[in-house]
Structure formats: C-alpha cells, structure tokens
Chains A and B, each alone.
Chain A
Amino acid sequence: MMWKFEGFRDNTAVIDEHGQQLSYAELRHEGRMLCQQADGRCLVFCLCQNVLGSFLGYTAFLNGGVVPAMLPADMDPALFSALYEAYKPKYVWAPKAFDLEDGCLRYERFGYRLFQTPFGDATRLAPDLALLLTTSGSTGSPKFVRQSYQNIRANTDSIVTYLSLTQSERPITTLPMHYTYGLSILNSHLDVGATILLTNQGIAQKAFWTFFQKLGATSFGGVPYTYEMLDRMRFFRMDLPTLTTMTQAGGKLLPELHRKYVEWCQKTGRQFIVMYGQCEATARMAYLPWEQSLAKIGAMGIAIPGGAFELIDEDGNLITAPHVTGELRYRGPNVTLGYASTGDDLRKGDEFGGVLHTGDMAQVDEDGYYTIVGRKKRFLKLFGNRVNLDEVERMLKSQFPTADVACAGRDDRLTLFATDEAALPQMRAWLAEKTGLHSSGFVPCLIPAIPKNDAGKTLYQELEKYND
C-alpha cells in the first residue's frame, strides 16, 4: 500500500472546482469500492484529467496493487489504439465521453467509467511494478517508464522532507496527472494529509484564479512556460495572500526570470523552489534550497535526500574539478526499473540498477551546486513537454512519405525544415494536431535541400545556421 489514508481520516483529501470534496476516510472507502471491481492485480489504462474521477482512479489503483498506466484523456485516438494493442490492459478507466468499442462497462463513479477489455489477464506484471508513465505522451511513442512501489515511496519521502510539507498545505493543480511532476505533487501531499485543490482549468482562465482565491491555495508547480506566462499576465500584481510556495521543474527557467521570481518571493515572504527531475527518476532528483536561491541563480541545486550526482567525461571517467562539463549521472532509490515498449516488458525486473544516465550535460561549482548546460541527445522541451526530435521526424516521414524533412531546435522551439513549400504548412498543422501542442511551438523553415552526408544521414550541424 502506497499511502496510509486512515492516519488522516477526517482531513479533506481533495476539493474539486465544482465544490465536491472527499475526506481521507471517504477516499479510502471509494478506492476500495473501485478496486473491488478491478478484482485483483492487473493493468489499467487511466485516461487522466484533473477531475475527481481521474484522481480517485489513480489513488485507488496505486493503493490497491492495480497498475495504472497514466495517459492524457485527450490523447489522439490512433495513438491510444497503438498503446492499447501493445499492452493489452485488463481495464480502461476513462471519462464518460470516452467510448471503448470492445469494452464492457463494469463500474461508474464521479463521471468516470471502468471498462473491462477483451484481453483478460493477457499481460503479466512484475511483483514490484507500481505505475507506468510515458516519457513523451505527445509523440505517441509506445515507450513507458516502469516505476516501482519502492521508487515512489523513496521519492515521496525525499520530497516531503526537502519541502517540509505538512497537512496544512493546499496545492492547486497546474500540471496534468499523466505527467510525472504533476503526479509527484499529488503523491507527496497525500502522504502528509494535505488537501489537493483539483481543477482542470488552466492558469490563463478566470475560473482557475477564482477557485484559487476561494479555496485559499498555498502552492503550485510550474514548468518554465508556466512562469513565462504568469510573468506576461502581470502575475506580480495579483492579490494572493494564501500563496506561500511555488516550485519549478520541467526544464531550465531563463536566469533573469528565475531572479525575478526569487526577488518577488523574498520581498513578499514566499518561496520559489527550482527543482530538477525526470520520469526515469520517478520525479525529482535535485532541488535548489531556498536559502541559496539568490546566490545560485541559474543552478538546479543539489541532490535530494537519499540521492547523489556524478559527472562523467567523454571517456567515462569521473570529473572531480568544478566548472567542467560532463554527463550527469544520478544514483538513488528513486531510479526506476527501466523502460517498456510492449506488454511483455512488464514482467521484467530492475534494469537500471539504481543508476540513471540523465542525458543532461552539467557542471558543478565549488559548493557542490549543479547547473544544467545542455542535453546530450536530441530532445527539446516544448511548453514543458519532452519532445524527441528523431521521433518527430519519424512521425512526419511516415505521414508524408514523399517529403524531405528534418527537425532541429533550441530551448522551446522546434524548427521544421522541409523542401516542399506546399507541404510545410500541412506538416506543421498535422504535427500540432497529433501532438496536441500549440502550433506556435513549430517554426516552419523552407530550405532548398536538407543537408546530408554520403551515408544519407542528416547533418544537423549545418541546420544550426538557420536558427537565428
């Protein structure tokens, strides 16, 4: 069992934007009812939204030994089908509007339905497997990260400790439940008996702030884009007396903006905590302690309690000198079991062995504070979503077989290089639709030819000159 809800029986566990709420005792009871229907350990696809049904499903399954695979509710139907066929879940827990053609309705609660699929117990699960999360839900790769109960327990304990969480916290949801960072906020706060304020509204919507003020939210988390947006929305002028803490992860915030939030928080008696993590490490690996935030602007901090970092040079040797760039390696009990790409992989045990090669290039300073300086692989963070450039290229090539295309980019902008003027806007629109990411993140660029070497491999260095 993940959480001991009976320890906070009378505390309110969750309040949604419609005023519905559940105490910890009620959440425990509702969870048991739902898990009874699922009847034993099995795989369930959870279609996530920040609503009560989704929240109940996640907590019930994780506490009841059922393995949820967390997917966005607005996922592209073709991508959903691919995952459904590859993993053969026994059940699907989904909002009412979702229809599973070959599913049999077993249970209904808070606007969500439990469908039994025709697969039965086709998929076997390793005993310590707790949860499946996608690393990049948007590109529809069938790859999941396999997280164990020990992983989630260890990471939750670390987070509760370094953020000093108590039951008086009231975090408001700003991140989706299928995203590891959003989930870690739920995990850690449910562990201390706090009250989750659950809303599906975004920060650009009035209903979000009305809910925030009415229920007295004390904290929220955000990716760099969240904080860029809040800055543009004149956030610093808002009257939010209950707000005490903001956390930031999911990519590197511009140092100027980091400073702006830290200074505003210092002036107004709040805290702004920069953190670092990955789905492969359950959620968190590092945080920047508040006392050091101004002195270490731009750094992501130190390893969380129980974890440790190392920097490795190109020859695989340990870097001990400060200010030398190397690949960041992390060790800790929250390093997940490994990946899965088919249902058969869910039987596997621990493949990472407690060591994670983050793929991020970093440096450490004299005081032991780490700063991310780049990425080893071709990944971007579009509006906080990890996007694998090679994967996007593959998607485009299968949808537009005749087009010559290459993807590159910096920070939060993906440049779409193509040679066919007519196809370029189509590709861009298709990509936005398929990934569910806003089209402004995809910048089209028409070029006479995609630079390639003799072996036909794209020369991405050559494309650099088009990036401003």
Chain B
Amino acid sequence: MTNSEKYHNAFVTALEVTPAQAPDLVYGKSNAWDSVGHMTLIAALEDAFDIMMEMDDIIDLSSFEKGKEILRKYDVEI
C-alpha cells in the first residue's frame, strides 16, 4: 500500500465514511469527525505510519489536507 492509500484508509476506517467523502472532511463539520472520532483518527494515523504525534500537531490536524502537511514533520510524504 502506498502512503497515500494508507492515509486515505485511516480516515475511512476511523471516521466510518466512504472513500469519496474522506478528502472533503473538516473537523467539527460532521458527526463522524467529532472529538471522539478525532482521537480514533489520530490513533489510526499513528498506527499506520508508526509515529507518535505531539499534542500541538494532534490539535492542529483539522482537515484531510492539513493532516498531510502535519505528517510531513514526521517524515511521512503523502
């Protein structure tokens, strides 16, 4: 699986959305991505890329696009 696929999958599985919905997701704009969904998503991303995210990054990850930018800090290119 490519990084891009892993990234996409993490959103689909953690937030229980369809693959087509994932790229448009923004924190707090849907029931799927509330505070509970957020922690599930962070855990999924940490597992998928074997990283430990800092609190500042956890709370900054507010959209599908923003997440890609943040993962770059952990040497993960999406």
Residues of A within 8 A of B (CB): 202-206, 208-209, 225, 229, 232-235, 237-238, 383, 432-433, 436-441
Indicate whether A204 sits within 8 Å of B31 (C-beta atoms), given known contacts A229-B39, A438-B37, A440-B40. Answer: no
Contacts of B24 in A (CB 8 A): none
- Among B16, B28, B35, B59, chain A packs the most CB atoms within 10 A around the CB of B59
Indicate whether A439 sits within 8 Å of B55 (C-beta atoms), given known contacts A202-B35, A204-B38. Answer: no
Fill in one digit per residue for B22-46: 1 if any A CB lies within 8 Å of its CB, else 0.
0000011001101111111011000
Contact, CB under 8 Å: B36 / A441: yes
- Among B16, B60, B62, chain A packs the most CB atoms within 10 A around the CB of B16
Contacts of B55 in A (CB 8 A): 233-235, 237-238
Residues of B within 8 A of A (CB): 16, 27-28, 31-32, 34-40, 42-43, 54-56, 58-60, 62
Contacts of A205 in B (CB 8 A): 27-28, 59, 62
Indicate whether A204 sits within 8 Å of B32 (C-beta atoms), given known contacts A229-B39, A232-B39, A440-B37. Answer: no
Given contacts A205-B27, A206-B60, 7 further A-B contacts (CB under 8 A): A204-B58, A205-B62, A206-B62, A208-B59, A229-B39, A233-B39, A433-B31
Indicate whether A204 sits within 8 Å of B54 (C-beta atoms), given known contacts A209-B59, A233-B59, A433-B31. Answer: no
- Closest Cβ of chain B: how far from A287's Cβ, in Å? 26
When C-beta atoms are compared, the residue in chain B nearest to A74 turns out to be: B31
Sample (10) of A-B pairs whose CB atoms are under 8 Å apart: A202-B28, A202-B35, A204-B27, A205-B28, A206-B62, A234-B58, A235-B55, A432-B31, A440-B36, A440-B37
A316 CA / B27 CA spacing, docked (Å):
50
A204 CA / B43 CA spacing, docked (Å):
13
Contact, CB under 8 Å: A204 / B59: yes
Classify the secondary structure of B's interface with A. helix
When C-beta atoms are compared, the residue in chain B nearest to A437 turns out to be: B36
When C-beta atoms are compared, the residue in chain B nearest to A225 turns out to be: B36
Contacts of B36 in A (CB 8 A): 225, 383, 437-438, 440-441
Nearest first, the 5 A-B pairs at minimum CB distance are: A438-B36, A206-B59, A204-B38, A234-B55, A204-B35
- Closest Cβ of chain B: how far from A257's Cβ, in Å? 14
Contact, CB under 8 Å: A233 / B35: no
Contacts of A229 in B (CB 8 A): 35, 39
Contacts of B58 in A (CB 8 A): 204, 233-234
A383 CA / B6 CA spacing, docked (Å):
28
Contacts of A225 in B (CB 8 A): 36
Contacts of B27 in A (CB 8 A): 204-205
Contacts of B31 in A (CB 8 A): 432-433, 436, 438-439
- Closest Cβ of chain A: how far from B67's Cβ, in Å? 13
- Among A206, A229, A233, A438, chain B packs the most CB atoms within 10 A around the CB of A438
When C-beta atoms are compared, the residue in chain B nearest to A210 turns out to be: B59
- Closest Cβ of chain A: how far from B66's Cβ, in Å? 10
A229 CA / B38 CA spacing, docked (Å):
10
A202 CA / B38 CA spacing, docked (Å):
11
Contact, CB under 8 Å: A439 / B16: yes
Contacts of A232 in B (CB 8 A): 39, 42-43
- Closest Cβ of chain B: how far from A384's Cβ, in Å? 11
- Closest Cβ of chain B: how far from A391's Cβ, in Å? 20
- Closest Cβ of chain B: how far from A307's Cβ, in Å? 32
Contacts of A237 in B (CB 8 A): 55
Contacts of A203 in B (CB 8 A): 35
Contacts of A437 in B (CB 8 A): 36
- Closest Cβ of chain B: how far from A208's Cβ, in Å? 7
A440 CA / B38 CA spacing, docked (Å):
11
A358 CA / B49 CA spacing, docked (Å):
47
- Closest Cβ of chain A: how far from B4's Cβ, in Å? 25
- Closest Cβ of chain B: how far from A389's Cβ, in Å? 19
A203 CA / B35 CA spacing, docked (Å):
8
Contacts of A383 in B (CB 8 A): 36
A1 CA / B22 CA spacing, docked (Å):
51
A437 CA / B37 CA spacing, docked (Å):
10
Contacts of B59 in A (CB 8 A): 204-206, 208-209, 233
A194 CA / B67 CA spacing, docked (Å):
38
Contacts of B38 in A (CB 8 A): 204
Contacts of A209 in B (CB 8 A): 59
- Among A205, A225, A432, chain B packs the most CB atoms within 10 A around the CB of A205
